[in-house]
Amino acid sequence: MTRRGKVFHSKHGRPGKRQREGGRPPRQHQEARFEGEILGRIYTAEMPLSAQDLLEALELSKSHRQEVLGVLEDLCRRKVLSCRRDTFALRKSVELFAGPISVTTKGYGFVAPTEAPAELEIDQDVFIPPGMLGGAAHNDKVLVQLMSRRQGRYEGRVIAVLNRATTRLVGVYMAGGTTGLVTPEDSRFPYNLVIRKEDSRGAKNGDAVLAEVTSFAAGQRNLDGIILEVLGNPKDIQVQTEMVIRKFDLPHLFTQEVTTQVEGLDPEVKMTPGRTDLRGVVHVTIDGETARDFDDAVAIEPLKNGYRLYVSIADVSHYVRPHTPVDVEAYQRGTSVYFPTRVIPMLPERLSNNLCSLVPNEDRYTFTAMLDFDEHGKRLGKRFMKSIIRSRHRLTYTTVKQVLTDRDPAVLSQYADIIPALEMMGRLALSLEKRRIKRGSIGFELPEPLAVLGEDNTVQTIKRSERNQAHKLIEEFMLAANEAVAETQTEGKIDSLYRIHEPPDPLKVAEFTEFAQSMGLNVDDGDGSPKWFGQVLAMAAGTPQEYIISNLLLRTMQQARYSQHNLGHFGLAATHYTHFTSPIRRYPDLMVHRALAASLQKKGKVLPAGETVSTEEAGTFLSKRERVAVEADREMMERLQVHFMADKIDETFEAIISGVTSFGLFVELTEVFVNGAVPITEMRDDYYELEEGRHRLIGQRTKTIFQIGDLVQVRLTSVEIPRRRINFSIEEKLAGATDLAKPATGKRVKGPTKDRKKAAVQPRKRAVKAK
């Protein structure tokens, strides 16, 4: 390994005959491979290398010496390398850089210039045309040679794969005679794997499998591989879940070392010095019907002019000590991942569903935030303590809604002992929400898809998840605790993680402002602050433009992430924010617990999962783990959607247009929570012109407009299960679609300044034809 990376080199020898069929002659393939690996080695070495150095680095025998020398001679003749005294170095005139490649399903890619030298002045991703990938797969680290710079766009070709992102892939096995073939499920892998029968692990034709590449060769379509695991019939939803787990490389098995440690934990809860006995305070948990890991409980008491709120969180740090096997494993996972068919927990089940879970009528170790508020929700004081509680009830969101909203007599009678407390909680939550919205917190009401499975794991329906007053109550209490902890971190100069959300790109906000004005919304110049966002959403609420405004505003936002530095949370309009309330399923919360406890006890800093990991490095790593979990969850939902829709070909549905592109429309069904596309090839009634800045297609002949937010009737034309695509055609445009002719009414809202708006992209028109 050198400072810039490493070159992947197979230890399994040269490719076999079957691997080379259909490509260049074998010798040309060998020379192409040598050229790429030679340039990769010299680039990463950052110093001249001799032919002998290269032979040793590439682990080649002396029989390959003449071939390597021939390639080196050719590279010198082409002035790619400078050759002096049997040493070879890259010429400065050769424009090379390294970076990760993002491959598309259409066979081209983009390389982020993360390691490009400053003198190249590359300020954007470099386009890699089809046929120039050099055997690279999605997320590989590659060495790129710049080929051209046209109209502000850079093009290049991959000349070497410096580091393979993965050698494992999920695919479908096709059985043959002496060999079989694994076709990767992800089309961004530009090859198939040839599997010898003895390496197939008994896989049957059509089985989903986890396979591994055993040899790479640039430009080859078929590579040698072996099957590591047979997953089963891909039509089974359970198997689909296993495919997602393997595809995203989610750690799903605990080592024996971790299991042994957890089995040896003492289950007895004892009162010890430094803990506060809160078993006399009436706590309850409020979660979903299927939840099993209860990591937060709440309680409330009246004060003379307000309330005392207790937010008691499972004290995971009591059981998961720094640098132990279970701690290292939890850090590597970063977060629990929840699928409809199973959970991939951050912690072993004995911890997540038993020792740490705040089950009713059992003593549990907790970390409590005790927060005092006045009648209007203004915080008057805060204290934090290690504690022991005993939850009185395991409530669900539905139960609390039946108490606070429905006033169900049977439920009111069943929980008579805690009704006054729940009513106080309801009042406090409303006050907290009002204060949060008033300061500018942005209130996006975006439902999540909820898959309903039958007993046989078939998808019964996919609906929009409900968010009622009970959900908002718990949300407000958790937000209040997280903000109070973050403020304490700053006041005490505690080295820990914050949950930050940086302001959106002003150019994106300016583009949105121009679009909103084109729709008739009275959005004026301003600073694009959180309060401005909230005012725009309030203006659009209840109007035909509400969907489109919420959708496009959300697209201007940056991703929230973890950082050692407090940069505030734009979406919440909070100056201080962190994650404290879910340590059973999020490692950042566990880090915050440890840091806060150490501060209360006047102890030193505790590093996460290994003494060499800094807080900032942990924030970056855990943000990545969170994104992987989100992507895996999103893909699982896409798989459920295509299986649900597969038997509904030719049925019609009402849908709202959720996106507009040059190749068609994206739609979201209204009766079930399913997304799909209307390809431009299905819009045969006219030639359509794309106005990107206004997110709409306009028919050149009929002047028909299809814009984001419009209601349409669509017909399901096809479902591509392997590619997770659902395709529709438009039957008709429905009444209730966005009416561009009617300007919105209401108060004018100031948007980004005119100086920022000047830099915004003007609406561009592009003709697109249905073929």
Q: What is the model's pLDDT at position 85?
A: 75
Nearest-angstrom CA–CA distance, 557 and 206: 42
Q: What percent of the chain has pLDDT over 70?
A: 89
- 700-705: average pLDDT: 92
Q: What percent of the chain has pLDDT over 90?
A: 60
| Average pLDDT of the residues of the chain | 86
Q: What is the model's pLDDT at position 18?
A: 37
- 729-753: average pLDDT: 53
Q: What is the model's pLDDT at position 693?
A: 79
Q: What is the model's pLDDT at position 746?
A: 34
Residue 475 has phi, psi (to 5 degrees) of -60, -45
Q: Compute the C-alpha angle 473/478/481, nearest 5°.
A: 130
- What is the pTM assigned to this prediction? 0.85
Which of 278, 264, 365, 289 has its CA nearest to residue 583?
A: 365
- 23-30: average pLDDT: 45
Tell me the H-state helices in 612-668.
615-645
pLDDT-derived band at 399, boundaries 50, 70, 90 = very high
pLDDT tens for each residue of 98-151: 899 999 888 899 998 888 887 778 888 999 998 888 888 889 999 998 888 777
Residue 74 has pLDDT above 80, yes or no: yes
Give the bridge partners for 208, in sequence order.
172, 232
pLDDT tens for each residue of 440-482: 998 777 778 999 999 888 999 999 888 899 999 999 999 999 9
| Number of residues written out for the chain | 771
Place of tokens 């590619």: 723
Nearest-angstrom CA–CA distance, 468 and 401: 7
Place of tokens 């003492």: 266
49: three-class secondary structure by DSSP = strand
Residue 321 has pLDDT above 60, yes or no: yes
Nearest-angstrom CA–CA distance, 47 and 714: 61
Q: What is the model's pLDDT at position 768?
A: 38
pLDDT tens for each residue of 478-488: 999 999 999 99
pLDDT-derived band at 608, boundaries 50, 70, 90 = low
Higher pLDDT among residues 581 and 762, named by residue? 581
pLDDT-derived band at 301, boundaries 50, 70, 90 = very high
Largest CA distance in the chain: 93
Contact 40, 134 (CB under 8 A): no
Nearest-angstrom CA–CA distance, 314 and 582: 8
Nearest-angstrom CA–CA distance, 425 and 146: 62
Higher pLDDT among residues 55 and 240, named by residue? 240
Tokens of 81: 């390398």
Cβ-proximal residues to 467 (8 Å cutoff; 6+ apart), any chain: 445, 447
pLDDT-derived band at 605, boundaries 50, 70, 90 = low
Contact 578, 497 (CB under 8 A): yes
Which of 744, 752, 671, 685 has its CA nearest to residue 503?
A: 752
User: 2-6, 46-50, 320-324, 595-599: which has the minimum mean pLDDT?
Assistant: 2-6
754: three-class secondary structure by DSSP = helix
- 69-95: average pLDDT: 85
User: What is the Cα Rg of the chain in Å?
Assistant: 29
CB crowding 105-128: b at 16 or more within 10 Å, else e: eeeebbbebebbeeeeebeebbbb
CA 300 to chain centre: 35
Tell me the H-state helices in 377-505.
397-404, 409-414, 419-439, 469-491
Nearest-angstrom CA–CA distance, 246 and 224: 20
588: three-class secondary structure by DSSP = helix
- 31-47: average pLDDT: 79
